[in-house]
């Protein structure tokens, strides 16, 4: 989500102590969905905005009064491509001036329109900049300026204008073209085109030995068999390998760290729970699963008759279309522990797309 990207850019920036989001009344659920998985330790509970941008910013500043920060950066949530460099430049300039904003010099020649859109004049663009955000200020000063503007009924389109009106000097620092404000459908389409998603790959491997019993769990499907697989949980070796592949793709450790076999909670647990947790973590990292590919290594049971059910089950657990799920099986030609029918091994690969 656009908001998640924007908030993440600030949370990741050194020198930022807290982020206060201002949302529309009634958007609390969407806000919750957007920030799910973000580090909440520096994210303050959202506050509601007003009818105008100015009123919304004012509410945000009011909420920050409780923390009395030295400085505040005010940013449009719809500028998700803000970079750490831009944020750092604004903060740096704030050391010298009460206000500093990101902005861009104008590259196009500026025309003043007269009657019937006839050009009345060509303007000097060398002095003209386009204002972006973040716009940074010393907190007590911008709060006072907003209070005064509200009391005077002054309406402005950005915070620098309010600072100027209040007589605070504001410095321009270089923004970036990519720090675009997503305003129209065209902006959104351009942003999508410009954004190359990051692809991650994870692998997983697991083995469980046979023990006395009459069924095995494989890929979340219960198969009648001459033996069971031994394990702390339901010993679904394929789901364990797949869980590790997903955790691997996001660098989130392995199944043993998340579900230690010393924990009684996982005794006899359905391995679906492990896979669901891995999926939750993938989503929390801003990822979505591209595809998963599982290979089961065993002499028995025969996998082919159950392959369709296994595929369906994994697709269901992961919320994926079946074309994104592959189940393969092979014997090891009688060689090794799987060949001697001492147990089952499974390999898995997963791709995760980070947006």
If DSSP codes are grouped into helix, strand and coil, which group holds residue 3?
Answer: helix
Cβ atoms of 345 and 237 within 8 Å: the answer is yes
Interatomic CA distance for residues 316 and 48, integer angstroms = 37
Helix (H) or strand (E) holding 337: helix 336-339
> Does 240 help bind Mg ion (rule: CB under 5 A)?
yes
Report, in Å, the least distance between residue 342 CB and Mg ion: 15
Interatomic CA distance for residues 262 and 338, integer angstroms = 26
Q: Which is nearer to Mg ion, 5 or 240 (CB)?
A: 240
Of 206-214, 242-250, 287-295, 317-325, which segment contacts Mg ion by CB under 5 A? 206-214
Of 65-73, 89-97, 117-125, 233-241, which segment contacts Mg ion by CB under 5 A? 233-241
> Does 234 help bind Mg ion (rule: CB under 5 A)?
no
Interatomic CA distance for residues 71 and 138, integer angstroms = 4
Of 83-91, 143-151, 204-212, 318-326, which segment contacts Mg ion by CB under 5 A? 204-212
| Residue 104-123 contact track with Mg ion, rule CB under 5 A, x = bound | --------------------
Q: Which is nearer to Mg ion, 96 or 257 (CB)?
A: 257
Interatomic CA distance for residues 142 and 150, integer angstroms = 12
Report, in Å, the least distance between residue 328 CB and Mg ion: 19
> Does 206 help bind Mg ion (rule: CB under 5 A)?
yes
Of 95-103, 162-170, 235-243, 315-323, which segment contacts Mg ion by CB under 5 A? 235-243
The distance between the two most distant Cα atoms of the chain, rounded to a whole number of Å, is 92
Q: Which is nearer to Mg ion, 76 or 206 (CB)?
A: 206
112 φ/ψ angles, rounded to the nearest 5 degrees: -95, 125
Interface size with Mg ion, residues (CB under 5 A): 2
Tell me which residue of 298, 286, 306, 297 sits closest to 355, measured CA to CA.
Answer: 286
Where does residue 99 rank: exposed (0-12), middle (13-18), buried (19+ CB within 10 A)?
Answer: buried
Q: Which is nearer to Mg ion, 240 or 311 (CB)?
A: 240
Report, in Å, the least distance between residue 82 CB and Mg ion: 43
Q: Which is nearer to Mg ion, 180 or 240 (CB)?
A: 240
- Applying CB under 5 A, which residues contact Mg ion? 206, 240
């Amino acid at each position: 989500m656009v908001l998640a990207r924007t908030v993440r850019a600030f949370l990741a920036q050194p020198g930022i102590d807290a982020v206060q989001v201002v949302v529309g009344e009634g958007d609390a659920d969407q806000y919750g969905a957007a920030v799910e998985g973000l580090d909440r330790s520096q994210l303050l509970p959202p506050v509601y905005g007003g009818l105008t941008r100015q009123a919304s910013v004012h509410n945000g500043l009011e909420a920050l009064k409780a923390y009395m920060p030295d400085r505040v950066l005010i940013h449009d949530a719809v500028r998700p491509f803000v970079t750490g460099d831009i944020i750092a430049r604004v903060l740096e300039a704030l050391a010298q001036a009460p206000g500093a904003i990101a902005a861009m010099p104008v590259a196009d020649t500026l025309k003043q329109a007269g009657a019937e859109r006839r050009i009345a004049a060509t303007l000097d663009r060398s002095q003209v900049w386009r204002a972006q955000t973040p716009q940074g200020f010393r907190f007590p000063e911008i709060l006072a300026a907003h209070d005064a503007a509200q009391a005077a009924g002054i309406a402005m389109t950005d915070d620098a204008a309010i600072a100027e009106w209040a007589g605070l000097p504001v410095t321009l620092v270089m923004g970036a073209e990519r720090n675009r404000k997503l305003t129209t459908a065209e902006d959104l389409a351009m942003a999508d085109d410009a954004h190359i998603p990051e692809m991650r790959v994870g692998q997983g491997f697991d083995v469980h030995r046979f023990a006395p019993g009459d069924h095995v769990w494989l890929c979340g499907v219960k198969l009648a068999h001459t033996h069971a697989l031994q394990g702390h949980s339901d010993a679904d070796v394929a789901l364990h390998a797949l869980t590790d592949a997903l955790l691997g793709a996001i660098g989130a450790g392995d199944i043993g760290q998340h579900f230690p076999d010393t924990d009684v909670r996982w005794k006899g647990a359905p391995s679906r729970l492990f896979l669901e947790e891995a999926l939750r973590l993938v989503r929390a990292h801003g990822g979505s699963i591209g595809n998963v590919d599982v290979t089961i290594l065993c002499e028995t049971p025969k996998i082919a008759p159950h392959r369709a059910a296994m595929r369906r089950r994994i697709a269901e657990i992961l919320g994926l279309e079946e074309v994104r799920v592959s189940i393969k099986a092979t014997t090891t030609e009688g060689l090794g522990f799987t060949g001697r029918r001492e147990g089952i091994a499974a390999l898995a690969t997963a791709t995760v797309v980070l947006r």
